[in-house]
Structure formats: structure tokens, C-alpha cells
Structure 1
Amino acid sequence: MDTAIVRNEALGQEAVEHLQKKYSPSGKKIGWMMISSIFIEAWDLYSISFLLVFLSAEYHPSPLLLGLTAAGTQGGAIIGALTGGWLSDRLGRRAIFLGTMVMFIVLGVAQAFAPNMVVLAVVRFFLGVPLGSDLAAGYTYIMESMQPGKREVMGNRWQAMFGIGEVVSIGVITLLFATGINPDILWRVSLGLGAIPALVLLLLRLDLPETAIWLIQKGRFREAKALAGKMYDDRLEMLPDEDVEMHRPRLREFLTDIWQDDTKRRASVFSWIASWCQALEFSTFAFYIPVLFVLTGVSGIFATNLLSMGIYLVAVVSGLVGPQITPRIGQRKLSIWGFAIVLASLLAVAAALATHVLWLVPIAAAAMLWGHYWDAENVMTIPSMVAAPRQRGLATGFAYIQNKLPAFLGIFLFPSFFAAIGKTQATLFTGVFPLVGLLAAVFILPEVYGYMEKRRLP
């Protein structure tokens, strides 16, 4: 590597490590803005789970088409996560953030005008692209705008925001149902309403700055110094007042960097395994809770919505408690407790279904979601936190693929799986996923709370 580039890299790394320790008054605001975007994804993902009953009654789809319609956004998010993460490293965090909200507004409204379920499934697939891109870029903002110890807590709040989105979507759908609105109109209005919070968030993001760390990695020292002076009251005097040429990392360096460091390797491998486990435990059981309650006779449609709202209120509390206790117990114990609670709860649900003790099903389902919110909270925080800043977008996007691919497969295939082997056996089988996640947390995950990277120069 050219001597000048090596010198520039050393200066840039010194500045990045310096900024990682600094507190920015606006960092917390930026963090909340990033986490709030999860509300939009939660609205879309979970509102459809309560609308499947109406779509099934109107269009009588096959189990595969029903699953594809529900899972469409998960499939699109697989593409969006990787491309959005890679583009956020190349073009900047801000550009991807603004672009994804525009796409979501357009496609969110388009759902409401789908003439049939095939078109709806296609629209929802494309809708998933900005959802995946947005989260990949959002976590880079959190990790680059907040200092270690604070950013982990903020990153872990994504499940709480999911829970809030779930409760609000259930409440709106229940209210519309109670008014006696035609089901054909109800599902269209419910899906289209997701564009409103997306529009609000877009307007709030218009004055969002780029991250100083990304500017440093690109050699744009003048902009980085000006931004750091504004956000951190620190002009980064170690950097020259001119832009410089920096090393352009190759794609393969992403995995090489992870594999050369024991902490990064173990933390990243755990996050990928845990992402599959938590996504499959949710998408096979929890996502279909409304349908399960109706089909097993636990409750009718209206009562199911109210019961589900209560269950997700419990989940919201769990999502708020988890980040608050993370500084005391660490990321590792949070995962261990989360997967253990889910495993015990799923076994209880299976036993209740087998013995027809139906009153126990919603109680065990609430306990399952409490544990799920804990075991899912850090699967995005950890890989984004330990990644090299210059490839943080790619690392976050790659990690989100490990979340969305199993979610797509689970939601898409579970209706057929459920019909083939029965509700009790399907629930019991789901217990395999938290068991694997529990073992991974115990034997693979090192404690990474407060981690701060000191990257080796190329």
C-alpha cells in the first residue's frame, strides 16, 4: 500500500477511536430516530398477521399463497439488507436512509390498491427492500453516533419498538373491525396506513447529518472535522484540514477482518446463529398466534385481537426491560435467559394444546414473547458493534439477512407445515430453535458489552 495512504489510514483510525469515546448531545436523538423506523416495519409485518383471516375469507388462497403474501416483505428485506448495507458504506448512511423512506411511502400506499393476492404478494416483496435497507443503515448510525455502553442499550431497543408497532397495529385493526367496516376495505386501509408514520419520519430525517466516522473513512477530513466540531465540540486536531485518499476495502476483507479476531469471530457467528433461531421461533409460532387462537377455539376474531394486544403489551414491557438490564447482566446472559424462557414456554404451549387446556395457551404465549424479545434484542446490535467502521453497513446488512431469510421461510412454509403435522406437533418442533440458540449463547458468545474496536491497519 502507498506510504501516504498508510499514513492517512493511521490518522483516520486515531480519529475514529477518539470519536468512539466522545459523547454527543445529538447522538441520543439520532439513535431514537433510527430505532423509531422499526415501528414502520412492525406495523407492516404484524398488521398482515391479523389481516390474514380477512384475506383468506375473501380470496380463498392456497396455504403457499397465504404464506407468500405474509412473508413477502421478509423476502424483499433479504435483498434490501445486503444491498442497503453495502450502499450505505459506499454512498453514505444519510442517502440510504432518506431513499428508503420514499420507497416505503410509495409501496406502502400501493398495497391498499392491490386487485388480488398475487399482486399484493408481489408489492409486499418489493416493499421489503427498503425495510431491509433502512435497518442496515440505521444500525450504522447508532454505532457511529453514540459511545460504547450507550449504543448497545439503544440498539437493543429495536424489539421494544417492534412491540409498540404491534400493539398500535392491533389496536387500529380492532377499532376498524368494531366499527363494522367491510373486510375488503379494512385490510386495504390497515396496510395503507403504514405510509403515514413513514412520511412523518422522512420529514424528521431531512436535516439528519452524515456520520463523522463515515466521512473519516472516506478521507473527507474537512467535512468530518466540521461535523465533529458541531456534534462533539471537538475539531479532531489530529486530522489535516484537507481531504485525502484512503484505502478502499475489497468485499472479501469483510469476512477476513471478522475471522482474524477471536472476539469478532465468536460474536458474529453467535449473532448469525441466534438470528436464525429467534426468527424461526417467532415466524413459525408467534407470528401465527391470531390464527392459532381462532383455529384451536381459544377465542373468536374480536376476542383474539384483544387477547393478542394484551400479549404484545407484555412483550413491549419485556422489550423495555431488556435494554435497561443489559448494562448489569451483559449481552450474553440476556441471550441465555431469553432462549431459555422461550424453550420452556413452547413446551408448555404444546402440552396445553395436547391436553386441551386452552386457557394456558395465551399465558404461555405471553411468556414466550417475553423471552423472545430478550433473545432477539442483541442479534443486530452485536454484529454491527464489533464490525470495522468502514464495512459496518455491509456487516449489519449481512447480519440482517440471517434474520430475514429464516423469517421468510418460516412465515411462508409454516401454514403448510402446520396443516401437515398438526398444531401440537408443529409447536413442539418449534422448540428446537430456542434450544439451539441457548446452546450457542452458552458455548459461543463472549461478553461484548462496552466493546470498542481497535482495527489493524491493512
Structure 2
Amino acid sequence: MKSDVQSRDGTTKKSRSQKAFLRTITTIATFGGLLFGYDTGVVNGALPYMSKPDQLNLNPLTEGLVTSSLLLGAALGALAGGRLSDRNGRRKTILSLAVLFFFTTLGCTFAPNAGIMIVFRFLLGIAVGGASVIVPTFLAEMSPAEHRGRMVSKNELMIVTGQFLAFTFNAAIGTTFGETGHVWRYMLVIASLPAVILWFGMLIVPESPRWLVSKGKIGEALRVLSQIREEKRAELELKEIKQALTRESETEKAAIKDLTVPWVRRIVFIGIGIALCNQITGVNSIMYYGTEILSESGFGTNAALIGNIANGIISVLAVIVGIWLLGKVNRRPMLITGLAGTTTSLLLIGIFSITLKDSAALPFIVLSLTVIFLAFMQGAVGPVTWLTLSEIFPLRLRGIGMGFCVFCLWTMNFLVGFLFPILLAHIGLSATFFIFVILGIAGILFVSKFMPETRGITLEELEQQFRAYDVSDIQEPAMEKAR
């Protein structure tokens, strides 16, 4: 019997094999997202134990530095990661990141003091930032247009799964070995395992066909496309990629100065705005300091660790719903709804923290509102952010453009991570969250005015729309002047 015989649902054995291989590629690559999530989430439960006098003896300043040093490294990793992946390929760069994840995790685990911990957290951040740019870019370039939203957003699912695992392991280890001096080291070392899986897994994953075409490896690009697409579609997609590159071949190699071209500058402006909207929600004050927030509200340390598991569970469930919604709902209204939900949740936390101060009900209300906050954040804001950033830049500028925008995202993330414990100590929980409420309203206004809709459009078509917008933007004043 022929291998391409149709089954009852109309698919062939070959097409099923292609879809299975694409799913394998997605699963392996998104271990970069899992590491991203675990390494950013694990500090949430580890901080109370690191801060003890017989351990790293952290104060609000050094606590902020231990947390945010990873984020500063991530900002630089995001900026450099895009350029490296453009030069060396997405696959090879992810392999290198897996090695960096492994050794820096061990460095953090065995850090003897706060200074060494800050250095290794910074280096670990370079890997996190690189993964935050390259993995969604790689997935966007491997996926068919109609499934791009769901496929790229699986990386977001793995990020929150990593955070959920961090919260779960933190609670299990903290409640079981909480009296052990170095319990936080056990929490950190677990991240070395997915780094090993990522490295070995990427050995069987092919390179991005779009990157291969950009390097003139047309035959290899077609071979990769044929592994994950039907034959006719593979040839058609290869043709579209070549046409997009032909249009760009008249310009110089991608450089920072290219981001100042008028139509590209508009994309950069939108990309930076969307990236900042993701962070000014205040999400990472909860993801990094959730245990302290719950403790501040009235929970004990162990109860706060266990309560954080609820945050992890809702994050995973919300992202699953968000991935489903991306195939049904336009990106722009989805992001606006998410920002409205996160802003309202923080406003209520701030109000109740004042009106119900010292009430037995306050910690449970705060936990409930953080769960609602994360439902909107992980179910709408997060998936739309990473997907849109991976979509809006043209192929030649995708690595450097997305890298620059994610650099801005991580820089804001760094500021949030560094300043939150200081603000919490000096102005309290309510006032700190009211600041995020004001920023959240600004984010809603930005998205409403500037963000374009990208759902159902190929990456090449989207580029044409941005170019056309620039032309019409120039022609309109000229026509007005002629009148």
C-alpha cells in the first residue's frame, strides 16, 4: 500500500508525519521557554531562604540586585541573541544557549556569597534573554501562517509551565527541607535538567528554512520545508521567501541604522510599545516577589509558597486558553482586554490592602486577585506580546529588530525587579501597585491607538502592508499640498 494513502479524515501518512515532526520541533525548541520560566520563577521561593543571615544575608537592595541581575543580563542577551542568530543560525544559537543555561545554573547553585550569585545570575540572564528572542523567532519561521499564533504561543505555555514547576518545587522543597540551611540551592539546581534536554533535543531539529534561504542554501531550505509542509505548499512558501529576500537584496546587510528607515522605524516604535506594555502591567512583581507579597498580606512563608502554586496553575491554564483564543480572536482587542483586566486587578489589590489592613480575609483576597491578574496576563497579554513581536519585523531585520524590542522589554523588567522590593519597603504594597495602575492605563491607550492587526496574514504580506503604509504616509501630505 502506498505511504501517501489517505486516511478517513483526508490526511495522508506523509502529511501526518510532517505534522508530527513539526510538533516535535516545537516541543524541543520550547524547552528554551521552560528554562526562561523556571529561572525567572524560582527566585520567588528561593529569596526568603537566601536572605537569611547564615546564607546570603540579603537586604532590600541586594535582594533587588540578585533578582534583577538576571534581567539586566537578559536585556543584553536579547540584544545580542538576535544578531548572533542572524549570523550563525537559529538552531546553532539555541544549542549554545543550552550550554550557557547549564553552566550558569550550576554557578548560581554553588554561589558562596551575594556577589558571586549576582554575577552568575547576570550570565544566566544572557541565556534567558537570548532564548526569549530566538525561540519565538525560530517558531514563527517554522510555522505555517494559519497556525503561527498557536505554535509560537506554545513557547509562552512552556514559560508559564516553567514558572509553575518552579513554584511547585519551591513549595515542596521549602515545606519539606525548610530547616535545611541550603534549601534554596536545591531549588536552583533543578534547572540544569531541562538545559540538558534542550541541548540533546536540538541536535535532531533542522535549521529555519527562512534563515537558510537568507544564506543562499536554497536546496537545504526546500528539504526542511518538505519535512514540515506538503510538497506544493513547500515550493510555494520557498518562492515567497525568495521573493521577500529579493526585495531586500538591494539594501545593505541589517544594521542598527536600518531601524531608522521610516517604515521600519514605525515597526520599532510599535514593537517597543508592545514590549513595554507587557512589563508595566507589573506581572513580574508577582512572578518574582509573589511569596513576599502574600507574606506582606498576612500569610506565613510556607503558606505563601503553597499559595504561589495557585498562581502557577492559573498561568498554565490561562495560556492554554490564550493559545486557543489566538486562533479565534484578533490580537489587538485581545491585548486591550488583557491590559484592562490586569490593571483592574492591581487597582483592587491596592484598595483592599488599605481598607482591609490587618483583616484575616486580606491574604485570601490578595491571592484571589493575583490569580485573576495572572489569568488576564497569561491568557491575553503574554501570548499576544511574544507572538506580535515575532511577526512584525521583515525577515532581514527580524533578528536585530526583535532583539532590540525585547532588549527594551528586559530593561523594563530589570527596573521592575530591582525597584519593587525597595518600593515595597519604603511606600508599601498599595502605593506600589497604584503606580502600575497608572502605567497600565497608559498601555491601554497606546495599544488602542498604534497597534496593527496581524492575525491571518503571512509574514511577507505583513511586511508589504508596513511598506505600503509608509508610502501612503508620504504621499498624503504631498497630495494635500498639491490641492
Structure 1-normalised TM-score? 0.87
Secondary structure of the equivalent of 1:207?
A: coil
Which of 70, 74, 77 is the equivalent residue of 2:71? 74
**Residue equivalent to 1:127:** 124
The alignment status of 1:260 with 2:263, answered yes or no, reads yes
**Residue equivalent to 2:46:** 51
Once the two structures are superposed, what CA deviation does each residue of 1:90-115 show, in whole Å capped at 9, x if it has no partner? 11111101000011111111111100
Which of 358, 367, 371 is the equivalent residue of 1:366? 371
Contact 1:284 1:430 in 2 (8 A): no
Contact 1:380 1:396 in 2 (8 A): no
Alignment of 1:135-154 (within 5 A): 135-154=132-151
By how many angstroms is 1:183 displaced? 4.2
Amino acid aligned to 2:129: G
By how many angstroms is 1:253 displaced? 5.9
**Residue equivalent to 1:398:** 404
Q: List runs of 5+ in structure 2 lacking aligned partners.
A: 1-16, 468-483
In 2, distance between residues paired with 1:277 and 1:376? Answer: 10
By how many angstroms is 1:207 displaced? 1.5
**Residue equivalent to 1:336:** 336
Once the two structures are superposed, what CA deviation does each residue of 1:390-443 show, in whole Å capped at 9, x if it has no partner? 222212212211221111111111111122212211121121222122112211
Once the two structures are superposed, what CA deviation does each residue of 1:320-366 show, in whole Å capped at 9, x if it has no partner? 10110122221111101100001111111011100125032111111
Contact 1:136 1:396 in 2 (8 A): yes
By how many angstroms is 1:269 displaced? 3.0
Amino acid aligned to 1:111: C
Could you say if the C-alpha distance between residues 451 and 278 of structure 1 is closer, same or farther in structure 2, counting changes exceeding 3 Å?
Answer: same
Which of 414, 419, 422 is the equivalent residue of 1:416? 422
Could you say if the C-alpha distance between residues 433 and 277 of structure 1 is closer, same or farther in structure 2, counting changes exceeding 3 Å?
Answer: farther
Amino acid aligned to 2:395: P
Once the two structures are superposed, what CA deviation does each residue of 1:61-98 show, in whole Å capped at 9, x if it has no partner? 23121101011211111111111101111111111010
Contact 2:44 2:167 in 1 (8 A): no
By how many angstroms is 1:29 displaced? 2.9
In 1, distance between residues paired with 2:449 and 2:278? Answer: 17
Task: Select between 50-59 and 222-231 the one with higher mean Cα deviation.
Answer: 222-231
Contact 2:30 2:158 in 1 (8 A): yes
**Residue equivalent to 1:294:** 295
Secondary structure of the equivalent of 2:87?
A: helix
**Residue equivalent to 1:13:** none
Could you say if the C-alpha distance between residues 352 and 106 of structure 1 is closer, same or farther in structure 2, counting changes exceeding 3 Å?
Answer: same
Task: Select between 172-181 and 97-106 the one with higher mean Cα deviation.
Answer: 172-181
Secondary structure of the equivalent of 1:375?
A: helix
In 2, distance between residues paired with 1:285 and 1:168? Answer: 16
**Residue equivalent to 1:251:** 255
Amino acid aligned to 1:437: G
Once the two structures are superposed, what CA deviation does each residue of 1:259-316 show, in whole Å capped at 9, x if it has no partner? 427xx936x533422322322311334532210111231x111111111111221121
**Residue equivalent to 2:90:** 93
In 2, distance between residues paired with 1:88 and 1:205? Answer: 14
In 1, distance between residues paired with 2:146 and 2:235? Answer: 23
Once the two structures are superposed, what CA deviation does each residue of 1:136-184 show, in whole Å capped at 9, x if it has no partner? 2212211111111311222233333222112211221222223235443
Amino acid aligned to 1:70: T
CA RMSD of aligned residues (A): 2.5
Contact 2:297 2:366 in 1 (8 A): no
**Residue equivalent to 1:39:** 34
In 2, distance between residues paired with 1:425 and 1:235? Answer: 57
By how many angstroms is 1:120 displaced? 0.3
In 2, distance between residues paired with 1:328 and 1:60? Answer: 50
**Residue equivalent to 1:277:** 277
In 2, distance between residues paired with 1:68 and 1:366? Answer: 26
Q: List runs of 5+ in structure 1 lacking aligned partners.
A: 1-22
Task: Select between 79-88 and 231-240 the one with higher mean Cα deviation.
Answer: 231-240
In 2, distance between residues paired with 1:307 and 1:183? Answer: 21
Contact 2:338 2:376 in 1 (8 A): yes
Structure 2-normalised TM-score? 0.82
**Residue equivalent to 2:449:** 443
By how many angstroms is 1:246 displaced? 5.8
Alignment of 1:11-22 (within 5 A): none
In 1, distance between residues paired with 2:446 and 2:323? Answer: 20
Amino acid aligned to 2:449: F
Secondary structure of the equivalent of 2:347?
A: helix
The alignment status of 1:220 with 2:224, answered yes or no, reads no
In 2, distance between residues paired with 1:88 and 1:249? Answer: 14
Contact 1:110 1:123 in 2 (8 A): yes
Contact 2:140 2:151 in 1 (8 A): no
By how many angstroms is 1:231 displaced? 3.8
In 1, distance between residues paired with 2:191 and 2:182? Answer: 15
Once the two structures are superposed, what CA deviation does each residue of 1:7-44 show, in whole Å capped at 9, x if it has no partner? xxxxxxxxxxxxxxxx9533343233333321111111
Amino acid aligned to 1:54: Y
Alignment of 1:290-329 (within 5 A): 290-297=291-298, 299-329=299-329
By how many angstroms is 1:123 displaced? 0.6
**Residue equivalent to 2:22:** 27
Secondary structure of the equivalent of 1:387?
A: coil
In 2, distance between residues paired with 1:230 and 1:164? Answer: 28
Could you say if the C-alpha distance between residues 216 and 180 of structure 1 is closer, same or farther in structure 2, counting changes exceeding 3 Å?
Answer: closer
Secondary structure of the equivalent of 1:67?
A: helix
Contact 1:75 1:408 in 2 (8 A): yes
In 1, distance between residues paired with 2:66 and 2:427? Answer: 22
**Residue equivalent to 1:12:** none
The alignment status of 1:176 with 2:207, answered yes or no, reads no
Contact 1:290 1:304 in 2 (8 A): yes
Could you say if the C-alpha distance between residues 325 and 441 of structure 1 is closer, same or farther in structure 2, counting changes exceeding 3 Å?
Answer: same
Amino acid aligned to 2:437: G
Could you say if the C-alpha distance between residues 333 and 32 of structure 1 is closer, same or farther in structure 2, counting changes exceeding 3 Å?
Answer: farther
Contact 1:342 1:368 in 2 (8 A): yes
**Residue equivalent to 1:7:** none
Contact 1:346 1:430 in 2 (8 A): yes
Contact 1:144 1:211 in 2 (8 A): yes
